Amino acid sequence: MTPPDPRSLLFAQLDPARAAVLTRDALARCDDGELYLQFIASEMFVFDDGRLKTADYSRDAGFGLRGVSGEMTGFAHANEISEASIRRAAETLQLLDPAKAPPAPPPRRNNRHLYTAASPLDALGFAEKVALLETIDAAARARDPRVAQVSVSLAANWSVIEIIRADGFTAGDVRPMVRLNVSIVAEQNGRRETGTFGIGGRRLYDDLFEPATWNRAIDHALAQALTNLESVDAPAGEMTVLVGPGWPGVLLHEAVGHGLEGDFNRKGTSAFSGRIGERVGAPGVTVVDDGTLLGAGGQGRRGSLSIDDEGTPSQENVLIEDGILKGYMQDRLNARLMGVPATGNGRRENYASTPMPRMTNTFMRAGNDNPAELLSRVKSGIFAESFGGGQVDIVSGKFVFSCTEAYKIENGKLGAPIKGATLIGDGPTVLTRVIGIGNDLALDEGVGICGKGGQTVPAGVGQPTLLIDGLTVGGTA
């Protein structure tokens, strides 16, 4: 049997031809804008304390109608996709001043689809999903007698979008997303510590159900919990810090990436504003945002997008090259006002949100240094293996990040694990203090969430091992 066209979920009560006419009429006074239609189905299962605690399933559909005139934006949305509701939304755009410039050209059409259009929610039944969580829970508890508590979650969503512009341009995308998380609490001599691991991406559940995948999740979470059971208080002060590859790229994402988004730079509120062509990082530092990345087996990575939420195809954007600032990430509005092309970074949380410049997969490219040699250079410092939460001032780039797994470094060798370590600094300064870049670039496992302006979107991060001189460490010793 041929599966139904996903677009039918958007046009059950609205003829596509009428949608095009309604959009053209609604945006007649505007120089840019679009009708954004979306259907989304999501589910989450949480297995905690030996039993199923949560089983959520939801479906939602709606539209957002945006008109742009100069720097002014009018926006209205509704959770009903119908001609009547779109007409009501269009009344909001009548408050905009008439456009004084010619209409903005449509997005280019050179995108390629980066992930399956199938729904991960439908491929497996409820019983199979619960059975997986039970299996992981039992396997984790049997792995080590010190395991005191296990929490496992499985989540997926499937989104169908359609973008319609007044100039006749249309584009659509079907976006799957899955995620598996394992959290383990280990106890020894009355002390409890936690370890976590997550994996996911724009794909189906298939590989998450493979024993090799979920066993790796258990092993990582358990190893982190057991390491933290042996941890000692972290030292404090300014010191050399070796930062591990992969997920620690979240520090780069927060402390540097947001400062390279077009809206902050157009308004002059970023530490990188007006500095195109200037040196902002040490030689060898190259930072890239790439929404076209594929993972193992050709599956889409968490931050990847065939098109952004304005219809612009995603692409590779070199932001900093060999320490020199080359450009910013742009949505259509800020690109037009800055006189540069859109870069495929116009993103929104859902149909009830307006797009803004956002990262996709942001990472630092590999260098030529052997990670073991970088470690040998450190006489006294710390190795930050993994990060948890943090706070960042997007304008200044100042950050405070807590380490979930870290170690002392003494005379070029890893020492005792430490707890309570925080890294304190600011992104622009940190880039200039990079004194070693490993040849071991790794991307995260597919669990990143990026927040900005009250909206959250999935994002990817990554980096090689980095040696940073003179970074402030907040400790508990």
Residue 101's pLDDT is 86
Residue 335's pLDDT is 97
User: Lowest-pLDDT range, 133-142, 173-182, 422-431?
Assistant: 422-431
Query: Whole-number mean pLDDT of the chain?
Result: 95
Distance CA 327, CA 319 (A): 5
Residue 4's pLDDT is 67
Distance CA 465, CA 384 (A): 10
Residue 475's pLDDT is 80
Q: For residue 452, what are its two tokens?
A: 């900005």
The segment(s) of the chain belonging to CATH 3.30.2290.10 are: 6-229
Assess contact for 336 and 364: CB atoms under 8 A: no
Per the model's pLDDT, the better-predicted residue between 101 and 463 turns out to be 463
Q: For residue 440, what are its two tokens?
A: 């071991």
Percent of the chain with pLDDT over 70: 99
Over residues 402-414, mean pLDDT: 96
Residues 40-98: tens digit of each pLDDT: 999 999 999 899 999 999 999 999 999 999 999 999 999 999 999 999 999 999 989 99
Over residues 143-157, mean pLDDT: 98
If we measure between CA atoms, which residue out of 281, 362, 374 comes closest to residue 329? 362
Residue 156 burial (10 A CB sphere; 0-12, 13-18, 19+): buried
Tell me if the domain spanning 6-229 has CATH number 2.40.420.20. no
Cα-based angle 344, 350, 353 (whole degrees, multiple of 5): 85
Over residues 257-269, mean pLDDT: 95
Assess contact for 157 and 42: CB atoms under 8 A: yes
Residue 347's pLDDT is 98
What do you get for the CA distance between the two ends of the chain, in Å?
65
User: What does residue 64 show for φ and ψ, rounded to 5 degrees?
Assistant: -125, 130
Look-up of token digits 């090689």: 464
CA separation, residue 330 to residues 39, 44, 315, 345, 363 (Å) = 25, 33, 11, 6, 17
Residues 3-19: tens digit of each pLDDT: 568 989 999 999 999 99
Q: Number of helices and strands (H, E) in the chain?
A: 10, 24
Residues 164-191: tens digit of each pLDDT: 999 999 999 999 999 999 999 999 999 9
Residue 1's pLDDT is 45
pTM value? 0.95
Over residues 281-297, mean pLDDT: 93
Residue 388's pLDDT is 85
Over residues 380-402, mean pLDDT: 87
Evaluate if residue 298 carries a pLDDT over 80.
no
Distance CA 237, CA 15 (A): 64
Residue 111's pLDDT is 72
